[in-house]
Amino acid sequence: MFSETKKLNRRSFLKVSALAGGGMILSFNMLTGCKPEEVGNLGLPKEWFKLNGFIKIGENGLITIMSPNPEGGQNVKTSMPLLVAEELDADWENVVVEQAPLDTDNFTRQYIGGSQAIRTSWVPLRTAGATARQLLIQAAAQTWNVPSQEIKTEAGFLIHEGSGKKIHYGEVASLAATLPIPEEVPLKKISDFKLIGKSHRNVDIKNIITGKPLFGIDYKKEGMKYAMIIHAPAFGQKLKSFDAEEAKAMPGILDVFQIKSLQDDYPRTFFDTVQFTDLIAIVGESTWQVLNAKKVVKAEWELIEAYTEERDMFGRPGKREVPAGLESESTQEEKMIKASQTPNQLRRDGNPEKAFAEASRIIEKTYTAPFLVHNCMEPMNFFADVQGDQMNCAGPLQKPELTEYALSVRLGIPIENINIEMTRLGGGYGRRSYAHWLIEAAVISQKVNSPIKLIYTREDDMTDGIYRSRYQLTYRAALDENNNLTGFHVVGGGLPENPLHQNRFPAGAIDNYLAEGWDVPSNVTTGSFRAPRSNFNASAEQSFLDELAEEIGKDPIEFRLELLKKAKENPVGESNDYDPERYAGVLELVKAKSNWGIEQAGISRGVSAYFCHNSYAAQVLDLKIENGKPAILKVTNAIDCGIVINPDAAKNLCEGAVVDGIGTALFGEQIFENGVPQKKNFDTYRMIRMPEAPKVIETYFAENNIDPTGLGEPAYPPVFAALANALYKSTGERFYKQPYIHQLENQSNS
């Protein structure tokens, strides 16, 4: 819960200054004085959670609020400025929102990741608005020679009721810029909010629907050239030699050459993940000419040797083991089976061995999921212009401030001479956190001494990583003679990471609990994928709990609620990272809103719930089988993400998560044969289609006064299991292996 007054460190403010011609600018280092208590699921240290913001007030009363974070469809470009405008008491119709460029002098944490944007800026952004408002009040009080307590603000105006005087903010903005920063400022009571909690349209919506250039793929500069790359066709290979004479002779082709995106001795940071660093670059006058030239380049590849990649994990040393060899489905599976036999203990409560030894019955199930491709609608692209010791670039990027260092080291350019302009992202989901394509663009520009636009084909993007890991989870439950749950054992692993969150539900609700994990090194590059690890952990866990409830003979929602009651009233262990009351709250909400328990002829229902990114989501999915295929009639969402800033935008996020999750659960799959990705475009990598989306999606938010938590990711993980549990009700078969489409097709053909 927030308090109404926040004390500020003087270092929180960088400057308050007058604008030429009147007005003022407030530059606020928002998280120097106000930090969140904990970090998000990406595991970043607290010092990274910093954000600066600018408020500019013109002499005419127009207010400009800079939006520092990249906009990738999550609507932060609207919601974050709303927090400032609320406390500023601004008229939203007279607010202009501008996308800030990367500016590490005045902003930090300028990135998308971990559903943390609103959570970490809730107090700081409001404090920025409240501080500006307080300075304006003091300026008006000085101008009118009245006590500041007698002045109120409303929709961008300062009002003194005693004298009837009323002026807009711009009329005293220059004076306000000369006043000292207040030691503390009051924040509004939730009951006094005028903007927060009400729906506001996306500030970019007009430009989006009218096709105005907003995305990186739209970016053009006079005189720029176009570039594409060729990488090794298989993970486990590298470039040996190439012949580009035929390509160089083609119309419009300026050059074909080899580049090294990252040097071998460079200690890579957290997001410097890329397997293919020895590349062939083709530069020409148009994308069509470059695309055609790319087809005739003759390249020879050789096998890599195993090596260890040194990592800088936000100041902590780390390593990535990169094995030699060309991986296939069968060899990957053999390695996973072997590793699963010697897992590491992650958590132990009570005496699980005794519980299983004395069990009357043991339920055991294993769940698997393949590698996944992000498949952003906008292919990877970036504009780069390297001239001497200066670099200007523009494009879609999730974590620009975490890419500057790699650019500086690779190009030999001072970091202060690198300018990154952020465009709107045509999809991110973690893929655009790994900016090797920006570095490639910069190296190519430096080589040809010209501005260039690097564009990946869809095949380039699907076959060069970064993928969601391949996962496996095995669950065991011990039941006594009365069908009471006495023990719980989960073993999780993956290639190359373990998906398990050992301190999440049902940990804390079972006396005898054991969690173990393992992993297998791979030369296939993987990384963040919407709701990292949670996206599979939730699907397996919630599918197993559903099956376990049936084995015990209990309603699946009531079974979960009983466990959560135990976790609330008599919790086991001290490391449980969820609030059982809030968790139970979304289950109760979805039960009521979906009319759970009321059966409809021909319709099967599945339920699921999960906690991740500091928020809680529960879903009920209704479907029926038509012509051997699932027709999803309705999904009911119940979400507890604290205070909802912009309800329509929040619903949009949840609806997108549901559709995305259903499509991935049904169809998502990347497979490898001898290191070669087998699915290279949408003719083989199946995506969800319009008729396959739910006919209706209803979203309900828990009403509370808890500070906002994450929302971009939490509604995504549980829908996998809601779908699987509904499919079981409809087909009579449990679904243990993703994607589900293979099992459905087998059923249809049998």
**722 and 599 co-located in one domain:** yes
Domain boundary among 455, 486, 519: 455
**511 and 538 co-located in one domain:** yes
Q: Using a pLDDT cut of 90, give the percent of the chain over it.
A: 81
Nearest 5°: CA angle at 426, between 421 and 427? 110
Determine the residue type at 580.
Answer: P
Q: State which residues form the domain around 493.
A: 470-749
Whether residue 653 lies inside any domain: the answer is yes
Q: Is residue 8 pLDDT above 50, yes or no? A: no
Instruction: Determine which helix (DSSP H) or strand (DSSP E) holds 151, and give its type and residue range.
Output: strand 151-154
Q: Is residue 110 pLDDT above 90, yes or no? A: no
pLDDT averaged over every residue in the chain: 92
**21 and 106 co-located in one domain:** yes
What's the confidence (pLDDT) of residue 251? 97
Peptide bond into 496 cis (omega under 30): yes
Q: Is residue 26 pLDDT above 90, yes or no? A: no
**498 and 451 co-located in one domain:** no
Of residues 638 and 128, which shows the higher confidence score?
Answer: 638
Cα–Cα distance measured from residue 201 to residue 6, given in angstroms and rounded to the nearest whole number: 30
**49 and 14 co-located in one domain:** yes
Cα–Cα distance measured from residue 256 to residue 238, given in angstroms and rounded to the nearest whole number: 18
**511 and 588 co-located in one domain:** yes
The whole-number average pLDDT for the span 247-276 is 95
Q: Is residue 128 pLDDT above 80, yes or no? A: yes
CA 48 to chain centre: 16
Q: Is residue 53 pLDDT above 90, yes or no? A: no
* pLDDT tens track for 495-516: 999 999 999 999 999 999 999 9
Of residues 110 and 366, which shows the higher confidence score?
Answer: 366
What's the confidence (pLDDT) of residue 44? 30
Whether residue 420 lies inside any domain: the answer is yes
**537 and 450 co-located in one domain:** no
Confidence at 49, pLDDT banded by 50, 70, 90? very low
What's the confidence (pLDDT) of residue 42? 31
CATH of the domain at 50: 3.30.365.10
> Which residues, including other chains, have CB under 8 Å from residue 15's CB and lie 6 or more apart?
25, 27
Supply the angle between the helices 580-593 and 556-569 in degrees, to the nearest 10: 160
**141 and 246 co-located in one domain:** no
* pLDDT tens track for 659-691: 999 999 999 999 999 999 999 999 999 999 999
Cα–Cα distance measured from residue 724 to residue 635, given in angstroms and rounded to the nearest whole number: 13
Whether residue 364 lies inside any domain: the answer is no
Q: Which residue from 39, 36, 47, 50 is spatially nearest to 114, judged by alpha carbons? A: 39
* pLDDT tens track for 519-572: 999 999 999 999 999 999 999 999 999 999 999 999 999 999 999 999 999 999
DSSP 503-518: TSTTTTS-SSEEEEEE
Q: How many CA atoms, within 13 angstroms, populate the side-chain half-sphere of residue 474?
A: 13
What's the confidence (pLDDT) of residue 454? 98
The whole-number average pLDDT for the span 342-360 is 98
Whether residue 338 lies inside any domain: the answer is no
**24 and 110 co-located in one domain:** yes
**543 and 435 co-located in one domain:** no
Domain boundary among 455, 487, 518: 455
Cα–Cα distance measured from residue 62 to residue 27, given in angstroms and rounded to the nearest whole number: 17
> Which residues, including other chains, have CB under 8 Å from residue 444's CB and lie 6 or more apart?
227, 259, 281, 283, 384, 452, 454
* pLDDT tens track for 603-649: 999 999 999 999 999 999 999 999 889 999 999 999 999 999 999 99
Q: Is residue 2 pLDDT above 70, yes or no? A: no
Whether residue 317 lies inside any domain: the answer is no
Q: Is residue 651 pLDDT above 90, yes or no? A: yes
Residue pair 383/393 in contact (Cβ under 8 Å)? The answer is yes
* pLDDT tens track for 283-320: 999 999 999 999 999 999 999 999 999 888 888 899 99
Q: How many CA atoms, within 13 angstroms, populate the side-chain half-sphere of residue 186?
A: 7
Residue pair 510/503 in contact (Cβ under 8 Å)? The answer is no
> Which residues, including other chains, have CB under 8 Å from residue 55's CB and lie 6 or more apart?
25, 26, 28, 63, 64, 65, 66, 84, 88, 128, 129, 132
Confidence at 51, pLDDT banded by 50, 70, 90? very low
Q: Is residue 32 pLDDT above 90, yes or no? A: no
Of 38-47, 310-319, 453-462, the poorest mean pLDDT is in: 38-47
Whether residue 560 lies inside any domain: the answer is yes
Q: Is residue 7 pLDDT above 80, yes or no? A: no
Q: Please state, in angstroms and as integers, the Cα–Cα distance from residue 713 to each residue in 38, 558, 721, following that order.
A: 18, 26, 15
Confidence at 34, pLDDT banded by 50, 70, 90? very low
**535 and 399 co-located in one domain:** no
Whether residue 135 lies inside any domain: the answer is yes
Q: Please state, in angstroms and as integers, the Cα–Cα distance from residue 596 to each residue in 133, 485, 588, following that order.
A: 48, 24, 10
**3-state DSSP assignment of residue 696:** strand
Cα–Cα distance measured from residue 346 to residue 366, given in angstroms and rounded to the nearest whole number: 18
What's the confidence (pLDDT) of residue 11? 42
Of 265-269, 650-654, 695-699, the poorest mean pLDDT is in: 265-269
Domains identified in the chain, total number: 3
Domain boundary among 209, 238, 253: 209
What's the confidence (pLDDT) of residue 29? 60
The whole-number average pLDDT for the span 136-149 is 96
Determine the residue type at 444.
Answer: I
The whole-number average pLDDT for the span 389-409 is 93
What's the confidence (pLDDT) of residue 40? 31
Whether residue 506 lies inside any domain: the answer is yes
Cα–Cα distance measured from residue 459 to residue 462, given in angstroms and rounded to the nearest whole number: 5
Q: Is residue 732 pLDDT above 80, yes or no? A: yes
**441 and 476 co-located in one domain:** no
